[in-house]
């Protein structure tokens, strides 16, 4: 018994994947060559091209219903958005397993700082394995986040179709691949509500956009953090001033900003905003024990990014994994104001700016946290710099989610990964955010399985982003085996 009830078909799918790997990688290279940067309006046409390319793949995998859906609306909150690829395959007549919603994103982060790329970000190259370093890999923006990982699913679809002659191996699939994940999925809420009828029939969501525990150690991720992203400005006097004439007579807005932001954390490195921790769900002793057993080596991780063990930093009373996976944080993502060009300019700027964001855990609500931060910021600014005006902008947010680890779907994914990789997947969480998962849970009650194959040194969002071919291979096989496991449910 296997795909369509025969073990031979499962084997054939795996064989198809190894025999056709060169073609699979070439298709990925084609997709990676399209600069689908969603945050930058200059790439709008390219983003659309990446969506159409993806829709074409689904058609080639046998999907009959494939749509490239426009999103947003000029005038709506999200503005005119990037398209979402929506596809459906009804599954074979004898299929009794769950209706699976596959989600991924085809948009990518901007490439800056461009001068640090060793090869152009949208001219993918294969680099050979290095001794004591990364394995054979494909280097390009989007290699692992997320085109390379969506590609594992698309290639698995091809493989199971070749092996069984059924689309998706007979699994009932809805596929939703968006183009705004990296810019906050601002049009997704509305899209999900509009397509409610089509989506609410889904039993479980599958997302391939996370990482493994380590090289050769696959994992299933059962939780992501939420996010609240803001921009704040402190306006001082109504003009830039000569710092000689005015220095010593007015507060400098950059200093005011630094003073305010320096109060974000207390001496325990806890966030000081009143009510920030009110809805945080405490870690269970079982979870703490299970994570300790993963033997995560923070010293080693710090070394890889050029820091000594003494640089370990975070909320007191929690281990590094606990801080990343189960505790909320506040980060200053950017801070600017006044003169930042070459050479010197003696100026007191009229205003100072910062991008401040928060990683959230269950049951924190992004909107509530944003509101509390704005109140805190305005009040603290008034103390630090009387007469200054605080301006606060909500850029975007997303819910975090923690999922049950005992569901039949997750168990099926576990078996699939074990069969494909020859080793049991670890159960992990991640500190990153994938807003759609919380949205699907809240709007439609759908749980997600995160089955990702990235590594922590893949340089996600950075220059020289890579995806190792061994990870790609494990991912393709795991997705094919998951389709097989689904037909057995």
Judged by the rule CB under 5 A, the positions of this chain that interact with Mn ion are 145-146, 209
408: tokens are: 């039949």
Question: What strands, in cross-sheet order, belong to the sheet with 426-428?
Answer: 65-69, 84-89, 173-178, 100-105, 204-207, 447-450, 219-221, 426-428
Q: Is 450 strand, coil or helix? A: strand
Q: Measured between alpha carbons, how far is residue 252 from residues 257, 317, 430 in Å?
A: 9, 36, 39
Residues 156-185 touching ligand BES, rule: CB under 6 A, are 181-182, 184
Contact letters for ligand BES, residues 205-224 (x by CB under 6 A): ----xxx-------------
Give the span between the Cα atoms of 308 and 298, in whole angstroms. 10
Closest to ligand BES by CB, 139 vs 437, is 437
Least CB distance to ligand BES at residue 259 (A) = 27
Q: Does 402 bind ligand BES (CB under 6 A)?
A: no
Least CB distance to ligand BES at residue 91 (A) = 28
Q: Which of 148, 223, 398, 475 lies at the binding interface for ligand BES (CB under 6 A)? A: 398
Q: What are the helix and strand counts (H, E) for the chain?
A: 15, 19
Closest to Mn ion by CB, 142 vs 170, is 142
Least CB distance to ligand BES at residue 382 (A) = 31
Give the span between the Cα atoms of 218 and 211, in whole angstroms. 8
Q: Measured between alpha carbons, how far is residue 66 from residues 32, 89, 160, 421 in Å?
A: 21, 9, 19, 31
Q: Which of 187, 430, 448, 487 lies at the binding interface for ligand BES (CB under 6 A)? A: 430
Least CB distance to Mn ion at residue 273 (A) = 26
Q: Does 107 bind ligand BES (CB under 6 A)?
A: no
Q: Does 460 bind ligand BES (CB under 6 A)?
A: yes
Considering CB distances under 5 to 8 angstroms, the limit depending on partner class, which of ligand BES, Mn ion, none binds residue 398?
ligand BES
Closest to ligand BES by CB, 87 vs 207, is 207
Q: Which of 78, 366, 435, 475 lies at the binding interface for ligand BES (CB under 6 A)? A: 435
CA–CA–CA angle 233, 236, 241 (5° rounding): 120
**What number of CA atoms fall less than 13 Å from residue 430's CA on the CB side?**
23
Q: Does 227 bind ligand BES (CB under 6 A)?
A: yes
* Backbone phi, psi, residue 127, to 5°: -110, 145
Contacting positions for ligand BES (CB under 6 A) = 145-146, 181-182, 184, 209-211, 227, 398, 430, 432-435, 460
């Amino acid at each position: 018994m296997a795909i369509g009830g025969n073990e031979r078909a499962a084997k054939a799918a795996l064989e198809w994947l190894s025999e056709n790997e060169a073609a699979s990688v070439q298709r990925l290279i084609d997709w990676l060559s399209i600069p689908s940067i969603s945050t930058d309006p200059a790439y709008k046409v390219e983003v659309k091209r990446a969506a159409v390319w993806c829709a074409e793949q689904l058609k080639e995998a046998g999907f009959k219903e494939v749509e490239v859906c426009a999103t947003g609306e000029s005038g709506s909150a999200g503005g005119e958005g990037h398209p979402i690829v929506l596809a459906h395959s009804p599954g074979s007549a004898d299929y009794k397993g769950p209706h699976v919603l596959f989600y991924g994103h085809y948009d990518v982060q901007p490439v800056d700082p461009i001068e640090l790329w060793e090869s152009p970000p949208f001219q993918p190259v294969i680099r050979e394995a290095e001794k004591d370093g990364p394995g054979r890999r494909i280097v390009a923006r989007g290699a692992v986040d997320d085109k390379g990982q969506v590609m594992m699913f698309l290639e698995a679809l091809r493989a199971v179709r070749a092996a069984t002659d059924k689309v998706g191996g007979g699994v009932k699939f809805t596929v939703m691949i968006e183009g705004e994940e990296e810019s906050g999925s601002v049009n997704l809420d509305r899209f999900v509500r509009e397509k409610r009828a089509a989506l609410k029939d889904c039993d479980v969501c599958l997302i391939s956009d996370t990482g493994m525990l380590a090289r050769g150690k696959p994992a299933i991720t059962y939780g992501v953090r939420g996010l609240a992203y803001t921009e704040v400005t402190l306006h001082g006097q109504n003009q830039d001033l000569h710092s000689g004439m005015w220095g010593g007579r007015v507060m400098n807005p950059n200093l005011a900003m630094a003073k305010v932001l320096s109060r974000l954390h207390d001496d325990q490195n806890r966030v000081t905003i009143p009510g920030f921790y009110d809805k945080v769900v405490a870690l269970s002793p079982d979870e703490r024990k299970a994570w300790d057993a993963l033997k995560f080596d923070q010293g080693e991780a710090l070394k890889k990014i050029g820091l000594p063990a003494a640089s370990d930093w975070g909320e007191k009373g929690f281990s590094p994994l606990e801080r990343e996976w189960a505790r909320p944080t506040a980060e200053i993502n950017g801070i600017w104001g006044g003169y930042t060009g070459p050479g010197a300019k003696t100026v007191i700027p009229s205003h100072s700016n910062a991008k401040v964001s928060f990683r959230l855990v269950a049951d924190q609500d992004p909107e509530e946290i944003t509101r509390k931060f704005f109140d805190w910021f305005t009040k603290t600014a008034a103390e630090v710099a009387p007469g200054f005006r605080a301006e606060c902008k909500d850029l975007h947010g997303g819910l975090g989610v923690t999922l049950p680890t005992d569901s039949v779907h997750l168990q099926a994914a576990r078996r699939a990964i074990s069969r494909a990789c020859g080793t049991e997947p670890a159960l992990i969480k991640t500190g990153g955010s994938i807003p759609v998962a919380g949205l699907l849970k809240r709007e439609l009650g759908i749980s997600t399985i995160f089955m990702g194959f990235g590594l922590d040194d893949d340089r996600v969002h950075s220059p020289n982003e890579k995806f190792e071919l061994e990870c790609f291979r494990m991912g393709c096989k795991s997705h094919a085996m998951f389709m097989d496991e689904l037909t057995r449910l």
